[in-house]
Amino acid sequence: MKKAVTTVLAILLMGAAIFYFVAFFAYIPSNKFFSFPVPKNAKLVKGKERVNIYDWSKASEENGIPSEYKLVIKSKGWKERN
């Protein structure tokens, strides 16, 4: 029984560590916009003085941005505004 609990805890800990590294290291801080996190694999489509437009396969008009990206943005101190 103790071995099973230890195994489950180890798996959960490894899963949390993998999620952390995938979620938080998949983004780079923007030099132009106060270190706002930008996905590493997003392609800059158009850059202007006050806005950058990216193409990113994980974001869509129908579904918005992934929850993990929202978590990263929030953890960096940014707040969502409507």
pLDDT at 12 over 80: yes
SS3 61: coil
Cα torsion through 57, 64, 29, 81, rounded to 10: 160
pLDDT at 36: 93
For residue 55, which phi and psi values (nearest 5 degrees)? -110, 120
pLDDT digits (tens, 9 = 90+) for 44-63: 999 888 899 999 999 988 99
CB neighbour class for 45 (10 Å; exposed up to 12, middle 13-18, buried from 19):
exposed
Binned at pLDDT 50, 70 and 90, residue 80 comes out as confident
pLDDT at 19: 78
pTM higher than the cut 0.95: no
